Structure 1
Amino acid sequence: MKVREANRNLLLLGSFTLLSVAAAGVVALLDPAPAPANAAPQATANQASAHRQAPVRIVGTPFVPNTNPRQR
């Protein structure tokens, strides 16, 4: 059975799609289930608590987006 030249691109696209879906399915089956989320979030070691954070000083004018390009 020969595939006509007009249908070769469609056959290539379909076969690539099927192989991609099969590969994604295999990866999804082999991937371990995510751990359940805890009800009470705990602070991790790399996060500083809110009372220890220093206030931030902003220098310069605040950003205002230019919604009217003709006006500067």
Structure 2
Amino acid sequence: MRVRESDRNLLLLGTFTLLSMAAAGLVALLDPAPAPANPAPRPAANQASTSDQGPAQTPVRIVGTPFVPNTNPRQR
């Protein structure tokens, strides 16, 4: 059986897709199960803590002019 030249790219794409899906499925089967979630709630990482137990924050010096967005492009 000969594959026509116009169908070779499609055959190559289909073969590559099937082999990639088989490899991904094999990796998914061999991957260990994730650890169960901890039931204790944790504070969000991007929020500052409200407790006074930590060190005092030092003030930050801002150098330069503050950024003001140009909402009117004709005016500079």
Taking structure 2 as the reference length, what is the TM-score of the superposition?
0.63
Which residue of 1 is the match for residue 54 of structure 2? 52
Q: Which structure features the higher share of helix residues?
A: 1
Flag the structure with larger Rg. 2
Cα deviation, residue 59, structure 1: 1.8
Q: Please tell me whether residue 2 in structure 1 is matched to residue 2 in structure 2.
A: yes
**Overall identity of the aligned pairs, in %:** 62
Cα deviation, residue 70, structure 1: 2.5
Cα deviation, residue 58, structure 1: 6.0
Which residue of 2 is the match for residue 70 of structure 1? 73
Cα deviation, residue 27, structure 1: 0.2
CA RMSD in angstroms comes to 3.0
Which runs of at least 4 in structure 1 moved beyond 6 Å after TM superposition? none
Residues of 1 paired with 2:32 and 2:42: CA distance?
23
Q: Which runs of 5+ in 2 are unaligned?
A: none
Q: Which runs of 5+ in 1 are unaligned?
A: 44-48
Alignment size in residue pairs: 65
Which residue of 2 is the match for residue 23 of structure 1? 23
Which residue of 2 is the match for residue 46 of structure 1? none
Residues of 1 paired with 2:14 and 2:36: CA distance?
37
Taking structure 1 as the reference length, what is the TM-score of the superposition?
0.66
Cα deviation, residue 15, structure 1: 0.3
1:52 maps to a residue whose letter is G
